[in-house]
Structure 1
């Protein structure tokens, strides 16, 4: 693939990522509010958001395995069309005051995300070895647009059609349809077709490699820590007498912290090496924990959440980049599916445990619990770093 084509494909995937993340942010913004209006029990208000994460978890492995057979373009377009249907069903659910239909719709939006989880791997597949870390980072940089566009579209659609929030999900369907149209233009080489004579190693052998395990552990740590702390932040801020506007601003700053560094993370990886960037991400996540100990004022929350976002970025992009070294083209379907499925499960655990631990322990103590996890991950990265250095010295 030539230089112009390679960069145009990465740009297309970045645009698709921006639309996908906008849809996800829209669900996070109004899903609970819409659920609260129609739920028979207030405790079920967040069911639409939980259903979205469930949809992602269910779809991730089948999506990866299917795309290994039919190709990225067919899979990504299909995933986006599922998201369109999800937006329509969610809007109908609100109109009919059916929490079940609303949750079914958001679950389908989550399934769309399950397909779209692999945009970053598609970027790695169209890029050459030199450009690969930056390609992965540029795709994730689409989240910068989503941090602004998602909440704005959710607010725009809220009062647009009665009942309230129906319009938000119809707009979600429209932007997802636009994403499907963009993805029709995607051209990603089919790794299986390119390596038809190579069936690859057994999946268990691929997963047992130190490279694979360290990459997975790093990315899963970044995702789990980030979702755990982010989920608890609005509740913690309101509990410490901040208003909802302050909480929303901190979350927006956090999301920008997650995605803005993507414009240079790939360059940093190319210059300093992936393990140094992953270790830096762990230092930044540790800084998040320490900043939570500085108090419960706005500045404390904001600075901690910015560190959380940047630390996630370095660790997640670094882990993804390292993972691409652990499998051959013929092995990519299973290797990527296992990786992302485990990461999503860790994220689910973080989101489900955050509220209970915040209630039981408080904001600062619940964050202190992250330090042993971060220390173990740092130990794994350092061990692998030294092992690679020793191997290079021998050769």
Structure 2
């Protein structure tokens, strides 16, 4: 029999470690993202190519998601996370060298390695959730997502000083974020190896969800059977479309601002506002889910995404863009945490690595599509076209949410007796 107090203390230590390592990893991503679209357009000598390295990153993230999820099921969660943080280090090294050599191809390789790292890091919220009881998982997920607040602030604030620091050595200022990323990736890797013990997959056996009552039936569920579960479908849909809309506007905003003569300092503050929307209110989101349920919070997220897509193209000035990008992050946050909670509660421990890997594959492919398309749409019609596409996809999610509500209401309606 497991010792509840021991399990709780170990779960808390692992969660704190996951929080810190996610903050370091996220800071690397935020700092790099601030300069990636600008560097991409410069290296390729074409603004329509600005989203290509990000697209490569999302595609690599999509392709790596299932293998990493499978590895986490077979070899443990610590091994999968370590693969991710090692890939993050290699991504920073490769991107740094590509900037020095003005190599667009090398920059894309760095993007691919970054995507592999992201596919692993995205599992962290599920790893934290599985080592707590089912009724606490939405709140735990929200706490892990909140780590992005530190990433948002730290990552954005790293850009100007890292550029100043690296330029002292006669190197391009925009290579600074990648140099800092090498150290952050190494730190995350070391912390994971030391403190993620015992492996969370072992602790997860102590906590059963309401869907894990019949172990024999769960053991025989195929991937197709799991993906047909209404909560699984809806959770994945919320995350996939939320990611698409967010990526469509987020990726191109730095280039849009660069067109209007905003410097990297101002751009980094807008990205910080966006990241604060993504992560800063996560604790509140977890409580909203606990009080009103995942479906209601996803509906709120849809409304906020629609508002963001309308506001973003209106003005190129700092305040309207910062507000629009904050709303964009907030709408994503509502869909992301609610969808993650729906998915986590619907799965057994031995299914989570694979199915959550498949979810990550869908989310990443959605992001890759949006990242590639947004540069093309922006080249055709400025920020208005990406805004219109994002608006349309938000409406699609809203429609699916209403369909889900109606389906669940029918299931809960008792059949009249004859």
TM (norm. structure 1) is 0.88
Measure, in 2, the Cα distance between the counterparts of 1:222 and 1:387.
21
Give the aligned length. Answer: 394
Question: 1:180 aligned to 2:213?
Answer: no
**Partner in structure 2 of residue 73 of structure 1:** 78
Question: 1:190 aligned to 2:192?
Answer: no
Which aligned pairs between 1:220-369 and structure 2 lie closer than 5 A? 220-239=240-259, 245-292=265-312, 295-369=315-389
Task: Choose from 147, 152, 169 the match for 2:178.
Answer: 169
Question: 1:80, 1:179 within 8 Å by CA — same for their partners in 2?
Answer: yes
Measure, in 2, the Cα distance between the counterparts of 1:362 and 1:99.
23
Question: 1:27, 1:49 within 8 Å by CA — same for their partners in 2?
Answer: no
Partner secondary structure for residue 327 of structure 1:
coil
Closer, same or farther in 2 for the Cα pair 1:265/1:7, shift >3 Å? Answer: farther
Question: 1:122, 1:188 within 8 Å by CA — same for their partners in 2?
Answer: no
Q: Which structure 2 segments of 5+ residues have no match?
A: 206-211
1:67 Cα deviation from its structure 2 partner? 0.9
Question: 1:17 aligned to 2:26?
Answer: no
Partner secondary structure for residue 330 of structure 2:
helix
Measure, in 1, the Cα distance between the counterparts of 2:19 and 2:139.
12
Task: Choose from 366, 370, 383 the match for 2:390.
Answer: 370
**Partner in structure 2 of residue 5 of structure 1:** 10
1:94 Cα deviation from its structure 2 partner? 4.3
Instruction: Report the aligned-residue RMSD.
Output: 2.9
**Partner in structure 1 of residue 209 of structure 2:** none
Closer, same or farther in 2 for the Cα pair 1:359/1:63, shift >3 Å? Answer: same
Question: 2:37, 2:254 within 8 Å by CA — same for their partners in 1?
Answer: no
**Partner in structure 2 of residue 114 of structure 1:** 119
Question: 1:88 aligned to 2:97?
Answer: no
Measure, in 1, the Cα distance between the counterparts of 2:175 and 2:390.
39
Partner secondary structure for residue 127 of structure 1:
coil
Question: 1:58 aligned to 2:78?
Answer: no
Partner secondary structure for residue 3 of structure 1:
helix
Higher relative contact order (CA 8 A, sep 6+): 2
1:96 Cα deviation from its structure 2 partner? 5.1
**Partner in structure 1 of residue 136 of structure 2:** 131
Partner secondary structure for residue 201 of structure 1:
coil
Closer, same or farther in 2 for the Cα pair 1:168/1:241, shift >3 Å? Answer: closer
**Partner in structure 1 of residue 229 of structure 2:** 209
Q: Give the stretch that moved more between structures: 298-307 or 84-93.
A: 84-93
Question: 1:68, 1:192 within 8 Å by CA — same for their partners in 2?
Answer: no
Q: Deviation string for 1:146-199 (max 9, x for gaps)? A: 112223334333342443255543321111111011212114432799499763
Q: Which structure 1 segments of 5+ residues have no match?
A: none
